[in-house]
Amino acid sequence: MWTVRKAVWNKLAVLKLGANKPVRIPVPQDDGRTLGAVSLASQFPRIPVANVLVGDHVPDDEASAVKSRFYDLQVGLYGGLSPMEPGLPAIDADPHKALDEAYTPAHRKCLPAPVLPPEYQGPVDLGSLAVAGPYACYVERAPEGGFQWDLRRLARHEHHQGLRSLGVRVLFNVNAGARRLEAARIESELGTNVPGDASWTLATRLALCAATTDVSLVRHFNWVHLAAGGLLAIATRSCLPAAHPLRRLLWPHMFGTQFSNELVTKGQMSPGGEFDSIFSFTHRGMCGLFTETWPAYDITGLDPHRDAERRGIAGAGFDTPALANRAAHFDVMHAHARRYLALYYASDAALRGDHAVAAWADALEHTVPGGIRSLTGDVLTVPSLARLVGAFIYMGTVEHEILGTGLWNYQMWTHVQPVRVYRSGQREPLDVYQRLVNANFNLHVRRAPLLQDFGYLALDAAGAEAFGLFKRELEALQRRLEAEPAAAWKVSPAILEANINA
């Protein structure tokens, strides 16, 4: 049956990517129905995660009957014609042959195949990846000195039979002369390994498997889609009238979130969905991981400057190129929020008089895990509101890109970065790898581009000019980044979408 399963699911993946068209984000309208935050388990009874909050319905202006039927068909086929088939052989030992088998000419007509990044073409340098790769969000000061990736939480949840535990910690030392990090020790179920050990390569594979798993499940979906994006959309729709200036500012970066989250939750988190079929966790283990990591979310991560301070990597004696790339985008978005808000709030007193904004901030403080005060402080002011808004724009554009499609040129190369590490030493089976490829392929569905003028959403000419200036500053950043050496992990305005809508 594998030939049939593969053909059907590849066809569905290609149809999904080809049929999806970017939407023109509409001017917001009041629909008279309040969007509430409820338990994920109450909306999706087959996904027993009680503490995660989601919207209690999809707003009419976001819903698409065609997309809903497509996803219902997809989830229905999980039971009738699953993309998984137990007992299949492993993928080819040659990673390029494995990719060629899974990534068909039909896929390639829609999207060029991933390329093997230079850092994966020889011995893997975890120190370089810690500051210049898709996993640069993990490095932080270690309690005993030096720096670390600490992913030991992944050991606490049920793995599929025959797989190694992903509870891993990597310790780094600073090479002050070279201004770089160097991996010094990896702690895992293998014990403690240092460079040169016989098990060092396997320990490195475990570390990368842990990082890519945590990025996909925790940081991308649980935190960006649900904890930040979903709750921002709920608070904005519930507390800010359609003609409110703050709603107009946030609207292009949150429209479509509820519908997107509903569809993706069905496809990825349902039993037999992408998460428990591709990655190391059983469905029960995945639900446990979501339950544990929800309250651990820290919104500080949406401000690269404050996040670097929180992790202890600002001015720590080593270069942080990924941080610099991210911060350049945040600075433009923060400046946009400051200019725009200054048009409508001449002072902090004027802001305090806006009860809708107060209700919006209060809703976020009480629903976003950990609240929002790490960015706003205890008292909401015009500058602190601008910082929070800049962080939310960054979340829906840059952070979502890094943690989603930003893995395209990394996650498919499982000879370096596996999505499962088998105790037997075998490679991923054909069905696991094919589903990984299709899942990442479909992350590239076309969305509304960030580089457009959203002035038509503004309330007045001054607001429209502010949106136009934002576009021009993004274009200037694009030109600046184009003059720099290219790298697979870099983001730039030209590749960014306006929001996380799928």
CATH number, domain at 301?
Answer: 1.20.245.10
* pLDDT for residue 45: 96
Rounded CA separation 172/265 (Å): 36
pLDDT tens-digit map of 386-431: 999 999 999 999 999 999 999 999 999 999 999 999 999 999 999 9
Residue with tokens 């996909």: 216
pLDDT tens-digit map of 347-372: 999 999 999 999 999 999 999 999 99
163 located within any domain: no
Q: What is the mean pLDDT of the chain?
A: 96
Domain count, the chain: 1
* pLDDT for residue 73: 87
pLDDT tens-digit map of 286-340: 999 999 999 999 999 999 999 999 999 999 999 999 999 999 999 999 999 999 9
Q: Let me know: does 160 contact 281? Beta carbons within 8 Å.
A: yes
295 located within any domain: yes
Burial (Cβ within 10 Å: 0-12, 13-18, ≥19) of residue 346: exposed
Residue range 86-105: mean pLDDT, rounded: 97
172 located within any domain: no
Q: Which residues contact 471 (CB under 8 A, 6 or more apart)?
A: 451, 452, 453, 454
133 located within any domain: no
127 located within any domain: no
| Residue 340 dihedral angles phi and psi, to the nearest 5° | -65, -50
152 located within any domain: no
From the list 240, 261, 258, 257, the residue with the least C-alpha distance to 249 is 240
171 located within any domain: no
121 located within any domain: no
Q: What range does the domain containing 449 cover?
A: 2-116+206-495
Run of H or E residues at 75: helix 65-80
